[in-house]
C-alpha cells in the first residue's frame, strides 16, 4: 500500500489517502499519530502497520464518533455508515464499527423503522413512509415487516390529517379545496381517497353552515 497524499481536513486532523488492492482509500489521523506511525507521502504502508492503526486508533475513534452522533439523533445503519465515510474512515473500519453497534443494540434498523412509523403515521401514507425509509437505507424486508406489525392505517391517518388541516379552511372555496388536495397528495395519499374525504368534510361544513 502506498501513501498517496496527506491533506489537512481541519485544525488538528489530517486525511491520509492511500491505495489498497487498486482502490484509493483514506483514514483520519492527527499530527501526533502521523509521527507515531511514521506516515508520510510516498511511503509504503505495510499491511501489519495498517492493521495496527485500525486496532489502536481508528476502531475506537469510529465507535466514539458513532456514539456521539447517535446521542444527538437516531440513524439507520446506512446513514451512520455514510457519516463515517464522510469522516474518511476505511470501509473495513466502518463495517467493524457498525457490526459492534448492532451487536450491542445501539444501531437497529427495525427499531428505527418502528419509531419512524409511529411518528409519521399520523401525517403520511404507508406508501410515502415506505419510500422515505427506503431512502434512508432501510431494507425492503425490514420496512414491510415493521409496517405489517404496526397499526398504521392510511384511512385513519388521512382522515385525521385532513380534519386537522381543514378545521378552519372553507372547502367551498375551490382554490382552498385544491390547495388541501395538493397537500394531502404530497403526503402520499391516493387521489380517490383524498377526494372522498375532502368531499365528506366539505359536505359536513355545508350542513353546519346551513
- Whether residue 86 sits in one domain with residue 27: yes
Q: Looking at the chain, how many residues does it have?
A: 210
26 and 92 together in one domain: yes
- Mark whether 99 and 128 lie in a shared domain: no
Q: Strand runs (DSSP E) across the chain, as ranges?
A: 3-8, 13-20, 23-30
Q: Which residues pair with 201 in a beta bridge?
A: none
Task: Say if residue 119 is in the same domain as residue 199.
Answer: no
Whether residues 30 and 51 fall in one domain: yes
Instruction: Check residue 147 and give its pLDDT.
Output: 82
Same domain, 11 and 95: yes
**Distance in angstroms between the alpha carbons of the first and the last residue of the chain:** 82
Position 206 pLDDT exceeds 90: no
Strand partners, 25: 18
56-to-36, 61, 62 alpha-carbon distances in Å? 12, 9, 11
Q: What confidence score (pLDDT) does residue 20 get?
A: 86
Residue 210's pLDDT is what?
Answer: 55
Q: pLDDT tens, 7-37?
A: 998 888 999 999 988 889 999 999 999 999 9
Query: What tens digit of pLDDT does each residue of 41-95 get?
Result: 999 999 999 999 999 999 999 999 999 999 999 999 999 999 999 999 999 999 9
Query: Rounded to whole angstroms, how far apart are CA atoms 70 and 47?
Result: 31
Domain housing 197: 154-209
97 and 27 belong to one structural domain: yes
Q: How confident is the model at residue 209 (pLDDT cuts 50, 70, 90)?
A: low
Same domain as 118, residue 35: no
Do residue 83 and residue 126 come from a single domain? no
Does residue 160 share a domain with residue 119?
no
Q: Could you give the number of structural domains in the chain?
A: 3
pLDDT tens, position by position, 93-145: 999 999 999 998 899 999 999 889 888 877 788 888 899 999 999 999 999 88
Amino acid at each position: 500500500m502506498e501513501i498517496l497524499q496527506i491533506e489537512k481536513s481541519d485544525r488538528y486532523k489530517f486525511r491520509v489517502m492511500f491505495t489498497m488492492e487498486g482502490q484509493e482509500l483514506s483514514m483520519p489521523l492527527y499530527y501526533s499519530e502521523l509521527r507515531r506511525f511514521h506516515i508520510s507521502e510516498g511511503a509504503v504502508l505495510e499491511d501489519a502497520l495498517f492493521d495496527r492503526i485500525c486496532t489502536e486508533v481508528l476502531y475506537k475513534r469510529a465507535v466514539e464518533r458513532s456514539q456521539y452522533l447517535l446521542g444527538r439523533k437516531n440513524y439507520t445503519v446506512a446513514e451512520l455508515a455514510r457519516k463515517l465515510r464522510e469522516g474518511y474512515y476505511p470501509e473495513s473500519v466502518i463495517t467493524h464499527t457498525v457490526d459492534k453497534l448492532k451487536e450491542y443494540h445501539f444501531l437497529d434498523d427495525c427499531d428505527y423503522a418502528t419509531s419512524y412509523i409511529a411518528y409519521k403515521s399520523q401525517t403520511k401514507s404507508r406508501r410515502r413512509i415506505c419510500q422515505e425509509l427506503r431512502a434512508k437505507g432501510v431494507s425492503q424486508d425490514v420496512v414491510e415487516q415493521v409496517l405489517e406489525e404496526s397499526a398504521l392505517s392510511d384511512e385513519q391517518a388521512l382522515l385525521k390529517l385532513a380534519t386537522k388541516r381543514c378545521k378552519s379552511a372553507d372547502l367551498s372555496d375551490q382554490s382552498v379545496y385544491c390547495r388541501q388536495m395538493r397537500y394531502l397528495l404530497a403526503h402520499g395519499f391516493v387521489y380517490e381517497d383524498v377526494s372522498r374525504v375532502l368531499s365528506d368534510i366539505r359536505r359536513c361544513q355545508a350542513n353546519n353552515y346551513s
